[in-house]
Amino acid sequence: MNKPIRTLSLFCGLLFLVLLGNATYLQYVKADDLNGNSLNRRVIEASFARERGAILVDGDPVAESKKSDDRYEWQRTYPRPALFAHVTGWFSFFSQSGIERAENDVLSGDDPQLFVTRLVDLLSNAQPKGGSVELTLDPAAQRAAYDGLLALGEGTQGSVVALEPATGRVLAMVSVPSFDPNKLASHDLTSVRDADAALNARKDQPKLNRAIQTTLPPGSTFKLVTAAAAIEEGLYGPESQVPAGASYQLPLTSNEAGRVTNATGNACNPSTVTLKFSLEWSCNTTFAKIADELGVDKMREMSEKFGFNDTSLLDLPGQAKSAYPGDLDRAQTGLSGFGQSNVRATPLQMAMVAAGIANRGEVMRPHLVDEIRSPDFDSLGKSKNEVYSRAISAATARQLTDMMVGVVDQGTAGTARIPGIRVAGKTGTAQTGRDDIANYAWFVSFAPADDPQIAVAVMIQNSNRVNSEISGGGLGGPIAKAVMEAVINR
């Protein structure tokens, strides 16, 4: 009977080998996958039990974990909740957003860079702590942006994004209405559910980070892209005569809807003006004609160099895609020349356009994380400044800058003037074409024009004002000015 017993032992050996293999698969190969499963309560329980690292702005925590004496040992708190809510995001038992989600590995201490710290904790039997994340935000700029939006009054929906042109550092990112992430981080899970449901039920969507998650037609601020393409292609220079006029019938159309008119009085009525003048007075007819002359492919190419059609512009999750569609017909291309048709942009995207021009044509990839640190505040590495693209030549950028300074000095963007400093800017008012939805006000600018330290995009989606009172210069200009001053005068 020994032969079958030997066979049997081989078979049993095989069974155990399969068990070992499967355990390895489960606990090694597939472990990350299973630990990432949202049904797995352990991971979130563990992060609740652990001291999570802080999110810092200029050394001050805007999110930190404090000792708590209820069922979880550490309570996540946000000392200035409304001001930074959309950047930090929230850290709730059920979900995370913003930096809390993007930098979860560092904050929770699971990042490979914190391996040594973890090992030391393990050996010394100390409670593992998370690393901290220092943001690029400038507190003064952030405050100015937030106060500026709040000053527009109850019911304002809008956003401000400010970038440092040379590096891509995000200096301000604000979205209103804001919310209180403390309520979502509570250890009372029932009240968290209620608070979340209440936020989700609100029509003005406070949880939405309008800086990166809302795309709207950028209106006349998009004329910067059109002008950039025109100059870059050698079609026109700032002093070239360009077609203008009180109205322009789009190609392929013959009806009233296909007729482009201007928003700013009679300034654009001569049949030709200079390109500089046209930008200063925001002549729709000019830019519709230029866009048609350039064609949809050139327009799309230039847009994409500034970051359109890309969702990976920033180190934050959940970005909406700023779109310049590739399938526009001639009439739609004409409309796109002044930011209408199906062109849509986030405030971040328009800030990148301004920053790209300010940085001599080189668009830097925006980033919010400046540095990550170990729990002992040793630096584990600073974010690198990364070139996103070279959108236009330095010469083109200089010409555009001069034109934008003109827009502030002589044109529609006078509200952003700062005494003693050359400011470059561009207004935009995007018509929704509907009476029940207010027009969108845009404003992009940078300063000082000769040595740009900051580029700002302001977007106001809703301000409880009638359409005749809504203009990019009127609503956005003062906010942009305040944000730029906060950085320049620091």
**What is the spatial distance between Cα 196 and Cα 180, in angstroms, rounded to a whole number?**
10
Stretch that binds another protein, among 42-50, 94-102, 175-183, 279-287 (CB under 8 A): 42-50
Q: Which one is catalytic: 47, 97, 220, 463?
A: 220
Check binding of 24 to another protein (CB under 8 A). yes
Check binding of 39 to another protein (CB under 8 A). yes
Check binding of 466 to another protein (CB under 8 A). no
CB-CB neighbours of 68 under 10 Å: 14
The tokens of 16 are what? 């155990």
Q: Are strands 454-462 and 362-364 parallel, antiparallel or unpaired?
A: unpaired
Catalytic residue check, 254 = no
The tokens of 229 are what? 């393409």
**What is the spatial distance between Cα 477 and Cα 434, in angstroms, rounded to a whole number?**
24
Stretch that binds another protein, among 37-45, 90-98, 218-226, 321-329 (CB under 8 A): 37-45
Check binding of 35 to another protein (CB under 8 A). yes
Check binding of 123 to another protein (CB under 8 A). no
Q: How far is the CB of 437 from another protein (least distance, A)?
A: 39
* 49 vs 267 by CB, closer to another protein: 49
Check binding of 387 to another protein (CB under 8 A). no
Ranges within 3-22 binding another protein (CB under 8 A): 3-6, 8-9, 12-13, 15-16, 18-20, 22
CB-CB neighbours of 366 under 10 Å: 27
Ranges within 62-121 binding another protein (CB under 8 A): 71
Instruction: Give the burial string for 424-445 (b: 16+ CB within 10 Å, else e).
Output: bbbbbbbeeeeeeebbbbbbbb
Q: Kindly tell me the number of DSSP H helices and DSSP E strands found in the chain.
A: 19, 17
Q: How far is the CB of 262 from another protein (least distance, A)?
A: 58
Q: How far is the CB of 201 from another protein (least distance, A)?
A: 23
Q: How far is the CB of 116 from another protein (least distance, A)?
A: 16
Check binding of 2 to another protein (CB under 8 A). yes
- Helix runs in 307-393, H state only: 330-336, 347-358
* 37 vs 261 by CB, closer to another protein: 37
Site mask for another protein (CB under 8 A), range 186-215, x = bound:
------------------------------
Chain Cα centroid distance, residue 329:
29
* 35 vs 271 by CB, closer to another protein: 35
Q: Which residue has the tokens 């527009």?
A: 152
**What is the spatial distance between Cα 211 and Cα 348, in angstroms, rounded to a whole number?**
6
Residue 367, strand partner residues: 169
402: Cβ–Cβ under 8 A, 6 or more apart, which residues? 238, 276, 449
Give the interface with another protein as residue ranges (CB under 8 A): 1-6, 8-9, 12-13, 15-16, 18-20, 22-24, 26-28, 30-35, 37, 39-43, 45-46, 71
Instruction: Show which residues are catalytic.
Output: 220
